[in-house]
A and B are shown apart, each in its own frame.
Chain A
Amino acid sequence: MMQEGLDDGPDFLSEEDRGPRAVNVDLQTDATLQVDISDALSERDKVKFTVHTKSTLPNFKQNEFSVVRQHEEFIWLHDSFVENEEYAGFIIPPAPPRPDFDASREKLQKLGEGEGSMTKEEFTKMKQELEAEYLAIFKKTVAMHEVFLCRVAAHPVLRKDLNFHVFLEYNQDLSVRGKNKKEKLEDFFKNVVKSADGVIVAGVKDVDDFFEHEKTFLLEYHNRVKDASAKSDRMIRSHKSAADDINRIASTLYTLGTQDSTDMCKFFLKVSELFEKTRKIEARVAADEDLKLADLLKYYLRESQAAKDLLYRRGRALVDYENANKALDKARAKNKDVLQAETTQQVCCQKFEKISESAKQELIDFKTRRVAAFRKNLVELAELELKHAKGNLQLLQSCLAVLKGDT
């Protein structure tokens, strides 16, 4: 059981922004409603987030308040948006992924089992490593939940949503349980139907050039982001593995240094020290790449999916509208149920137009956000890579100077 506060952690994660920690999205912070996750607690199999709100809006009883929420409650909120017809014309902020500490926990367990087979120093070192990794994952999941809330708070319509206010304010448990097997199965079928329908809907050519272009663009973009996200993950994993190897090399060099009878011992100890330090830097490089590149790509994978969903809804509405038109024509021709057909047609028309109008703006905003986020992250990535490479270089050069001087 690990209880961890949010603010204590190795400083290698301090490059994350403090304040609005929304690293992947560029948001205007608005004094009327500010939301953040001020604290988080990790218990056996769940994480408890402390959602902190500051608001001048009259809807809330107080100006500043906090509640504790769990992951399922975030999902409930997200799903309520998706199911709300009123929001069909918006890109629904993607739900945060489930906190997944399984891999990390497994590693810690394996380490515990293998305790007898390694020296005390090695064990302590590896334990520190894994604890740092656990903390990193923890911080990431907090950031992702926070981004979701910030996106909602920044959206002109969604921020007024009643469920959202309840989520922020109601200080009792929302009694939202995770979906049981039956519901999960229902979801699965719904998704199958939706994908099939999506294909049909996507096949309908749009009169509007803007949307037609967006459709083609998003489809390709989404697939390529998916690919880039997967490849960046693999790359970063290799990087971490290499850093782990350097860690072991440093340990063995240290042992050699303490054992050696020749004047190699000083040499070995110095090189061991060097590798310890460079290894830490390599680990940071991998961590930063993860934050600035991999997470960015993962986020835009989810957002581009949300944008695709919007287009699907619009497409669906368009099809419905066209079908309603055809039905109306038929009714008029047969002169039967004309009024009903007219009403249906009106409703479909309104729905379609409403979605189209907001969808256009949403997609334009999506692009703006995307460009800004990529810019921010790519610049920060390059700056961090430079910082680390320079640090590494300096360590190597000063060590070399010492070693060459000794020989």
Chain B
Amino acid sequence: MAEDREPPPLADAVQTDFREVEEGEDLFVSTVSTLSPTSPEPASFPAEDISTNSNGPKQEILLDDDQEDLFAEATEEVSLDSPEREPILSDGPSPAITPVTPTVIITPRVDALFDRSLDEVKQISINVLYLFSIIQAFYFCLQGDGMNAYMAYKVTTKTSLSLFSRNEFSVKRRFSDFLGLHSKLASKYMHIGYIVPPAPEKSIVGMTKVKVGKEDLSSAEFVEKRRSALERYLMRTVNHPALVKDPDVIQFLENTELPRAVSTQALSGAGILRMVNKAADAVNKMTIKMNESDAWFEEKQQQFENLDIQLRKLHASVESLVCHRKELSVNTASFAKSAAMLGNSEDHTALSRALSQLAEVEEKIDQLHHEQAYADFYLFSELLGDYVRLITAVKGVFDQRMKTWSKWQDAQVMLQRKREAEAKLQYANKPDKLQQAKDEIKEWEAKVQQGERDFEQISKNIRREVERFEKQRVKDFKVVIIKYLESLVHTQQQLIKYWEAFLPEAKAIA
């Protein structure tokens, strides 16, 4: 399981490489040091948009540009033919429970940290800087059993990034901690156009079964499903060049103690507030009619809409396949038993033996179907599920842009009104009110300017994010689909083996 995962082998660092690495690290560190000690606010938006979780002084514009530069590098195509990548890709013939995006961690690290030309980057070993997290699941009992018990997940991080104080460390986290992390990141970054990976969904039924102590297969499967989903979520989050530097993320990975994220509970005050906001957003979305001046956005939105529809369809079909494959496994096992019984009652010895052999073959095949169903699920189905949720996040980011635009427009309308009011007051001979009006105009002029800047900023961010997202998507799908096909190959190879062993038995019936 998680133990199968090995970190990419550290290549021998040549002297020159090492120096370059250090410089890169410094570059990284320098940006970190300009951050305020608590969570940064990478966008200087009006106060009301900032979540209550993050505090600290507003960020200088300087940081934005720095980060932007880093991201520019992140999106450069660095096509490294890396033999070092092989250990990750060829995880052996156990398709069942391997993390989905192991390779994707490597390239962004390099891209984000090195402001170098393509050739120079190629010289540097890509394994030098890495980060990945593995999650193992523990069942943790709090005082008293039953509903107070919770599942603890051990998050082990291995990294060479200087953001962290150590190279390898583990922490214990609860499911609600993950949700809390996502909540914070979403509130900080979504409104400026970053695609924040969505957290796995809650499941009251599944968790209750586990808590109630049902020691059966479905509970174990549920835990594994959740563990795997959390791992993929975390990997996607740390893959994001901006998010990985966020103090909340660093804290999440490193700190032994984390304040309990109660606001993630559905029925808490924050939970209800979230629901209300969601509803309000939905209404607003319908009423905002945006003049899209940028064809790129219109095109992209349509593309994501189409992608959403098709991925959902595909996901449904794959889920159906998983279900039928599991059914096939069960029915094959049942047939195997029946064939064995038939072989027992057959009084012709050779035929009886052959039927018993058939029963054995079918039993092995049912195991095969079972494993294949696992591969169907963990490789294919979960990937699709993740991407359906990711695209919802992408669509959310586009919606944020609309909101930003709307705000800007509203500010313009206000400004116009203030100007009209001032014009009227010119002839009313009320010097106090006139001054106030002039002040208000100044205020709203600034707001309009800010609105325009914000809109441009979010548009820029989204372009960058979408480009990064698409690259990631291509990589993810290719890796996973190839792995999935390899699992199918394995199944067929096994089938051949089993039937080849059976054929002489059948022929031996005299």
Contact = CB atoms under 8 A, between A and B. Distances in A.
Interface of A: 217, 220-221, 224-225, 227-228, 231-232, 234-235, 237-239, 241-242, 245-246, 248-249, 252-253, 255-256, 259-264, 267, 271, 274, 278, 367, 370-371, 374-375, 378-379, 381-383, 385-386, 389-390, 392-393, 396-397, 399-400, 403-404, 407
Interface string B473-510: 11001100110011011001101100110110011010
A278 B321 CA distance: 14
Given A238-B324, A259-B307, A259-B310, A252 B338 contact: no
Contacts of B306: 259
Interface stretch (B162-170, B196-204, B325-333, B420-428): B325-333
13 contacts: A221-B346, A225-B342, A227-B338, A231-B338, A234-B334, A248-B320, A253-B314, A259-B306, A374-B354, A382-B503, A385-B499, A390-B492, A390-B496
Given A227-B342, A271-B481, A375-B509, 16 more contacts: A217-B345, A224-B342, A234-B335, A235-B328, A239-B328, A241-B327, A245-B317, A252-B314, A261-B470, A262-B473, A263-B474, A375-B354, A382-B502, A389-B492, A399-B485, A403-B482
A267 B477 contact: yes
Contacts of A224: 338, 341-342, 344-345
A8 B354 CA distance: 36
B486 A400 contact: yes
B495 A385 contact: yes
Contacts of B470: 261-262
B334 A371 contact: no
Contacts of A261: 303, 470
Interface in B351-405: 351, 354-355, 358
Nearest to A391: B492
B324 A241 contact: yes
B338 A382 contact: no
A255 B311 CA distance: 10
Chain B interface helix/strand/loop/mixed: helix
Contact of B503 (A367, A370, A379): A379
Given A220-B345, A241-B324, A396-B485, A374 B509 contact: yes
B209 interface: no
Given A255-B310, A264-B474, A378-B509, A242 B328 contact: yes
B458 interface: no
A235 B335 contact: yes
Contact of B321 (A225, A242, A396, A397): A242
Contacts of B317: 245, 248-249, 252
A228 B496 contact: no
B348 interface: yes
Contacts of A232: 335, 338
Contact of B339 (A228, A234, A278, A404): A228
Interface residues of B, number: 56
Interface of B: 303, 306-307, 310-311, 313-314, 317-318, 320-321, 324-325, 327-328, 331-332, 334-335, 337-339, 341-342, 344-348, 350-351, 354-355, 358, 470, 473-474, 477-478, 481-482, 485-486, 488-489, 492-493, 495-496, 499-500, 502-503, 506-507, 509
Contact of B507 (A227, A255, A379, A407): A379
Nearest to B494: A389
Nearest to B341: A224
Which residue of A255, A259, A262, A379 has the most chain B CB atoms within 10 A of its CB atom? A379
Contacts of B337: 231
A242 B325 CA distance: 6
A259 B307 CA distance: 8
A400 B355 CA distance: 36
Nearest to A222: B345
A232 B365 CA distance: 14
Given A235-B332, A379-B506, A393-B489, A245 B324 contact: yes
A201 to B, nearest CB: 21
Nearest to B477: A264
A383 B503 contact: yes
Nearest to A387: B499
Contacts of B311: 256
Contacts of A260: 307
B509 A371 contact: yes
Nearest to A225: B342
A249 B341 contact: no
Given A225-B342, A253-B314, A393 B500 contact: no
B328 A228 contact: no
A246 B499 contact: no
B474 A228 contact: no
Contact of B481 (A217, A259, A267, A390): A267
A241 B331 CA distance: 13
A232 B355 CA distance: 14
A400 B507 CA distance: 35
A389 B495 contact: yes
Closest 9 CB pairs of A and B: A238-B328, A245-B321, A375-B509, A378-B506, A393-B492, A231-B335, A235-B331, A389-B495, A241-B324
Nearest to B326: A238
Contacts of B481: 267, 271, 403
Contacts of A238: 324, 327-328, 331-332
B345 A221 contact: yes
Contacts of B507: 375, 379
Contacts of B502: 382
B321 A371 contact: no
Contacts of A393: 489, 492-493, 496
A228 B342 CA distance: 7
A224 B306 CA distance: 53
Contacts of B489: 393, 396-397, 400
Contact of A386 (B347, B474, B496): B496
A259 B313 CA distance: 14
Nearest to B507: A379
A188 B208 CA distance: 53
B496 A389 contact: yes
B474 A392 contact: no
A115 B152 CA distance: 50
A393 B497 CA distance: 12
Which residue of B334, B342, B488, B489 has the most chain A CB atoms within 10 A of its CB atom? B342
B324 A249 contact: no
A379 B496 CA distance: 14
Contacts of A371: 348, 350-351, 509
Contacts of A381: 506
B439 to A, nearest CB: 49
A252 B313 contact: yes
Contacts of B478: 264, 267, 403, 407
Nearest to B311: A256
Given A221-B345, A400-B482, A392 B492 contact: yes
A249 to B, nearest CB: 5
Contacts of A274: 485
Nearest to A271: B481
Nearest to A257: B310
Contacts of A220: 345
A400 B338 CA distance: 38
A33 B218 CA distance: 61
A161 B486 CA distance: 61
A87 to B, nearest CB: 26
A245 B314 CA distance: 10
A266 to B, nearest CB: 11
Contacts of B313: 252
B239 to A, nearest CB: 18
Contacts of A225: 342
Contacts of A367: 347-348
Given A235-B328, A242-B321, A374 B351 contact: yes
A167 to B, nearest CB: 34
Nearest to A246: B321
A23 to B, nearest CB: 15
A235 B481 CA distance: 27
Contacts of B493: 393
